A = this chain, B = another copy of it.
């Protein structure tokens, strides 16, 4: 029998069968009416998920490509820009801003820290003329979900254009693009939106477009103004990944049918179930033990066990893919994702398998408590 596989990482994430079936439909032409109808619906649904009236610009690229669209459209060499980082993806903003020749002010927190609005306020008052502030909503490398509402408010007070990486948070935890005054939100298809990778987005406020009109960095495919004009006519500027756009249209429909508030509640409960299960097993959490930690749970292995042993054990013995730590955290934490098409039995599967691998590695674990505690925690409803 073919081995059953479980994709339990924070991205790419599992995709519902309706979405997979949509991928298998014959290719259609992107200038054809059939596609334009799908494209229009998909762009409108994205606005609903983003909670914005701004244009959400769609690109055939990875989430990092959507990051780059922001940097390329907002940067002239020498511009002062601030990056607040506390993990791998925040540091990616910094590397990219440097690659585009900006004068980088890097407010670098340790990996795993939760950014504080006061720290950002202090950094901005120490430095004149910061034009753009880059933030990370969900730092997938550490499991920390930041209070971007508070951070964005501080950045706006300072007069900066606010850019937020919501690649792993969009659709999983509350994000109010317009109500929180976020100029640019970048995200991707392959996380909580329950679609394969290949499409990524940037929502753009009037202020962001205005800043882009003055930015000197060269760009062509990812030029926001070109994309905005083309989307207004439902005429994709370059051949999009039509199969993935179709799939995304279906997956966004599923998400909106569930309801965003229901999805946020489900993710909060998944996170809680995962944390409570891990703690019941005697493990220490690396990601914060709070309701906001609804995207990915980062866990420290018991003393003497390398996280790589756990990740490889799950993969080799059970066909289960979870994530190792990234960069400096490799081997020191393992990460169980729970965004998108997840329910509590995905969590119990992960916990049960971790329990087996750790027990076989000699860890003292009371058998069965993790799964039981996860199911209990999942059942508790708390308002998000």
B62 adjacent to A238 (CB under 8 Å): yes
- Measured between C-beta atoms, what is the minimum distance from A254 to chain B in Å? 15
- Measured between C-beta atoms, what is the minimum distance from A122 to chain B in Å? 29
A5 within 8 A of B: yes
Copies in the complex: 2
B321 adjacent to A239 (CB under 8 Å): no
Complex Cα gap A244–B240 (Å): 12
Stretch at the interface among A20-28, A78-86, A112-120, A258-266: A20-28
A7 adjacent to B28 (CB under 8 Å): yes
A277 within 8 A of B: no
A64 within 8 A of B: yes
- Measured between C-beta atoms, what is the minimum distance from A255 to chain B in Å? 16
Contacts of A99 in B (CB 8 A): 218-220, 223
A12 adjacent to B242 (CB under 8 Å): yes
**Contact digits for A223-251, partner B, Cβ 8 Å, 1 yes 0 no:** 10000000000000011111110000000
Among A170-215, those with CB < 8 Å from B are 188, 190, 196-198
**CB nearest to A34 among chain B residues:** B5
Q: Is the interface of A mostly helix, strand, loop or mixed?
A: loop
Among A82-140, those with CB < 8 Å from B are 95-96, 99-101
Contacts of A68 in B (CB 8 A): 220-221
A218 adjacent to B217 (CB under 8 Å): yes
A374 within 8 A of B: no
**CB nearest to A12 among chain B residues:** B27
Contacts of A13 in B (CB 8 A): 27
Contacts of A321 in B (CB 8 A): 28-29, 32
Among A47-74, those with CB < 8 Å from B are 60-65, 67-68, 71-72
A11 within 8 A of B: yes
B32 adjacent to A14 (CB under 8 Å): no
Among A13-45, those with CB < 8 Å from B are 13-15, 20-21, 23-30, 32-34
- Can you give 26 A-B contacts (C-beta < 8 A)? A5-B26, A7-B28, A12-B29, A12-B30, A12-B239, A12-B242, A13-B27, A28-B321, A30-B197, A60-B62, A60-B197, A60-B198, A62-B221, A62-B239, A64-B220, A64-B221, A65-B221, A71-B220, A72-B218, A99-B223, A100-B218, A101-B218, A190-B239, A197-B242, A197-B243, A198-B198
By a beta-carbon cutoff of 8 Å, the part of chain A in contact with chain B is 5, 7, 9, 11-15, 20-21, 23-30, 32-34, 60-65, 67-68, 71-72, 95-96, 99-101, 188, 190, 196-198, 217-221, 223, 238-244, 315, 321
